[in-house]
Structure 1
Amino acid sequence: MVRTQTLLQKLDFWVRCPDFLAWELLAEFEVYPDDPALWYLAERILASDEPDVRRYPMLRHRFGAFEQMNEALGMLIERSLVAKRHTSRGDQVGQHDYYLRARGREVADAIVHQEPDLYWYVERTQTVASLFKGLGPSGVRDRQYLQRDYADTPIGSYILSITDQARERLQRLRPPAPRSGT
């Protein structure tokens, strides 16, 4: 389940923009330098063609990265793979919550089993969910705005790649090589 459409859009951004995800992994590594797995995952992302091949840019809207969710989720909702619930605030919708139904999980598992290359989406979604666990929409949005290129993108423009900047940061933060036991 994902509470609020805003949170879904924020998390979707990091799946769709692997260079920004690598940047965030490096930001976490700076806070937790005893966890080199963060650096190595960022390295794996940036050493691959993932930032170019998997990137699906999003527009910068008033409150950050934005994509109209109705079209993408409409087909899943229509086929009862995902449920969308909303709570009202007066005469307006206050919040949208999204639930993966049991049939949706079965279909997703079958697709990944038939096309193992699509498991990449499972891995990235798990990474993003783990990285931002416990943060609400505002907390996730605030993290996005810490990245200067993201924050400086004009409203109505696509958020551009930061792959080169992320690769430079990766090299600056390289953890020391483990000592061999001699």
Structure 2
Amino acid sequence: MLLIDAAAKPVPDGEAVPPSTVGVVHTQVRLQKLDFWVRNPDYLAYELMNEYEAAPDVPHLLELAAGILESEEPDLRRFPMLRHRYGAFEELDDALAPLVERGLLRKTQILGRERVVEHIYFLLERGRQVAQSMVTEAPALAWYAERTHLVVDLVDGLGGTQLKNRQYLLRDYADTPWGRHIAPITEQARTRLDALQAAPRS
């Protein structure tokens, strides 16, 4: 719920949506890739370091990566995902069914000749209200609210295929056999962090 709330974009002009829709998430692939970075903090830290190297004048990116890797978060917050044909994958139907049943979310599919071309998720007004009240009612969820927004902001404007391609750049991810859990890269990421922290800044 928190991830969909963070990722949902305003409804585009002319798009047909269910009543009370306040935001839309296009493509299951994008949702899966965002979910992977939420559930795998070491991979997210690695991506933050990629962004830092591309923009070294934005030091808070390195600080964010350090905050993740210098804590127990990569172990405590890790929730493994399987490698599927298009990368990290988790069956979403069971997780989304209660949200649909309670009137928080609607979803639909665009069908092609032989397969589903696109999954679309509609965040309803009640869903946004629940997402916004969750942290107030359960402060332990604050980490998830902050993390989902960090992940979405990091890759704002990128589609599912672009996110998939970025995640495949890491060999540990790309070389995971189909149907196996994607292994952590915590020590690799910490070694890279040490090198970046030790490097002189221009």
TM-score, scaled relative to structure 1: 0.92
The Cα of 1:176 is off from its aligned counterpart by: 6.7
Q: 2:197 aligns to what SS in structure 1?
A: coil
Query: How many equivalent pairs are there?
Result: 178
The correspondence of residues 70-149 of structure 1 with structure 2, limited to 5 A, is 70-90=93-113, 92-149=115-172
Separation (CA, whole Å) in 1 of partners of 2:92 and 2:44: 21
Query: What RMSD over aligned residues (CA atoms) do the two structures have, in Å?
Result: 1.7
Which deviations, in whole Å up to 9, do the C-alpha atoms of 1:42-100 show, x marking residues without a partner?
01111122111111000001110011000011111111111112223247532111122
Separation (CA, whole Å) in 2 of partners of 1:113 and 1:149: 38
2:76 counterpart letter in structure 1: V
The Cα of 1:102 is off from its aligned counterpart by: 1.2
Moved runs in structure 1, 4+ residues, more than 6 A? 175-178
TM-score, scaled relative to structure 2: 0.83
Q: Percent identity?
A: 53
The Cα of 1:177 is off from its aligned counterpart by: 8.6
Q: In the alignment, which residue of structure 2 is the partner of 1:154?
A: 177
Q: In the alignment, which residue of structure 1 is the partner of 2:40?
A: 17
Separation (CA, whole Å) in 2 of partners of 1:38 and 1:99: 31
Ranges in structure 1 where 5+ consecutive residues have no aligned partner = none
- Larger deviation, residues 91-100 vs 132-141: 91-100
Separation (CA, whole Å) in 2 of partners of 1:99 and 1:121: 20
Ranges in structure 2 where 5+ consecutive residues have no aligned partner = 1-23
Check the 8 A contact 1:83/1:101 in 2, yes or no: yes
